[in-house]
A and B are shown apart, each in its own frame.
Chain A
Amino acid sequence: MIPGVDGFMYPNEVELQWSLLIVLYPYITGLVAGAFILASLERVFKVDAVRPTYRLALLTALSFLLVAPLPLQLHLGHPERSFEMYLTPHTASAMAMFGFVYLWYLTVVLLLEIWLEFRAEIVYLAQTTKGLRRVIYRALTLGSMNVSPEARRLDDKVGYIVTVIGIPSAFMLHGYVGFIFGSIKANPWWSTPLMPIVFLFSAMVSGIAAVLLLYVASMKVKKMAVDMRCVDTIAKYLFYTFCIDFTLEMLDLVHRTYESDESFRSLDFMVHTRLFFSQVVLQIFLGTLVPLCLLAANQLWRFTEKARRAMYVTACSLTMIGIFAMRWNVVIGGQLFSKSFLGYTTYKMAFATREGLLPAIALMLLPFAIFFVLVYLLPPWQEPEHVSAPAGD
């Protein structure tokens, strides 16, 4: 008997091919899409209450987007070969096409929107700082110091258009990640057309929760007051999105249970044994039901500011854990059972290896380091009211 294997497994199923890093990949991409969609609430849907998190959400999205491809490159080895995807793209490959979606989203949507949003700030800092910072800001101005009211009005208009384009792009970015799993017809755990939409809504949930946490943490660090109207509104949208996400996941579950195809007994057994902790305890109970109850309670009753803040932070932290558990259950769970439906294997996580826990922790910390640098370079806390008079183009 092979250790960790119960029942019958085909030889190529014993060892998992997609590891912890592949769990991180949809998790990180989801945070990007979610953060951007939260930012678009203010810009496109005119939800003014979330204005204090608008810039923060954009910087959060960029921090995570820069790290999003790294788990894949580390998993595959030879990161330099990923460039081949752009040089000689195979149009029938969903992974290859993702490279272009990623590049489009990074350059045309996110970088452009951030540049337009922060331009006044960049110009001001290019005029007032010294040394290396001045060089960086001058480079970031792209040579234009024009921040006249008319130029800023145009920035706002173009920024709006970019956000409108950005919303379907964000949907595409993360819907595609769900598509990668949902289109694997050989795997009944993954193969469902609901997968892209489930991934999308869970992405929005995790992104909104991440921005709320980052906002509250930033305010704490900066010793600034938390705008409770903003936090209440974000929590309200988080609740709505979470309801849709939970409904979709339950729809998938009910459909599978009622349909009870040939894979059902095997998958059901797996959920009750190997995935019990990560799926039932972490994902459904702690990661979904508890935060949903906390958020719902705030829609029904009025709590004190302190209590609300504590409830939101708890709900969002649990949500982040729950969505991570969801990604884990999809990626790892989908590889634990045999296609023969007669056996189960075990995922043994390594520690200090290329795909072990250590690089996964490092990859999860990296976006926060990038976020720290971005926030240092482009402080998102206040509106650029102090910008100097137009200096011409």
Chain B
Amino acid sequence: MFRDSGHLIRPAVVLLLGLGIFLAIRAAVVPKGFGKYGHYRPQALALIRSKPISFAGQDMCLMCHDDQGKARAAGKHAHVACEACHGPLADHANDPAAHKPVLPDVANLCRRCHEKDAAKPKGFPQVVTAEHSGGVLCNGCHQPHNPHL
């Protein structure tokens, strides 16, 4: 009986061999501990942590710029973080004298959020900038930290 069924073992051996090679490759190339915290390699956390920090975080900004913070808290931009408009400023926070931040380019900054677009919610303040101010910069009329006129 086995004499006539022996050939059937061969494809099974080939399959198992393929599976074995696959498992060996998998063991060799999949990073150690993959999936421990989620669908990623745990080493990625240390790698990300080792990268230089770019953003200071607004708590840090408010330690020195409390007046601007108060103006912002009273207006519509209360929930917009400082660095959303001013850019990442960890270097400035670490050494204010050596790293002076550049003021935002108002002509382009405001329209990023407030340019009229039918896809935006109706209640969101939006204007056609080309028609709205006749070339006058936004901060000519609006105070950026509390933009209400």
Residues on A lying within 8 angstroms of B by beta carbon are 8, 10-11, 86-88, 90, 107-108, 112, 115, 119, 142-144, 146, 148, 150-151, 154-155, 158, 340, 392-393
B11 touches A146 (CB 8 A): no
How far does the alpha carbon of A119 sit from the alpha carbon of B8 in the complex, in Å? 11
A-B contact pairs, 11 of them (CB 8 A): A8-B118, A8-B119, A10-B119, A88-B30, A88-B35, A115-B11, A142-B11, A143-B10, A146-B4, A154-B8, A158-B8
- Chain B residue contacts of A119, Cβ below 8 A: 7
20 new A-B contacts at CB < 8 Å, known A87-B29, A115-B11: A8-B118, A10-B119, A86-B22, A86-B26, A88-B30, A88-B34, A108-B15, A112-B11, A142-B7, A142-B10, A143-B10, A146-B4, A146-B6, A146-B7, A151-B5, A151-B7, A155-B8, A392-B3, A393-B4, A393-B6
A148 touches B4 (CB 8 A): yes
- Chain A residue contacts of B8, Cβ below 8 A: 154-155, 158
The prevalent SS among residues of B at the interface is helix
How far does the alpha carbon of A11 sit from the alpha carbon of B15 in the complex, in Å? 48
Q: Which of B28-78 contact A (CB under 8 A)?
A: 29-30, 34-35, 39
How far does the alpha carbon of A90 sit from the alpha carbon of B38 in the complex, in Å? 10
Residues of B in contact (CB 8 Å), total 21
Known contacts A88-B35, A142-B14; A154/B118 CB under 8 A: no
- Chain A residue nearest to B30 in the complex (CB): A87
- Chain A residue contacts of B25, Cβ below 8 A: 87
Nearest-CB distance from A161 to chain B (Å)?
11
A144 touches B7 (CB 8 A): yes
Q: Which of B67-106 contact A (CB under 8 A)?
A: none
Known contacts A88-B35, A107-B18; A146/B3 CB under 8 A: yes
Nearest-CB distance from A153 to chain B (Å)?
8
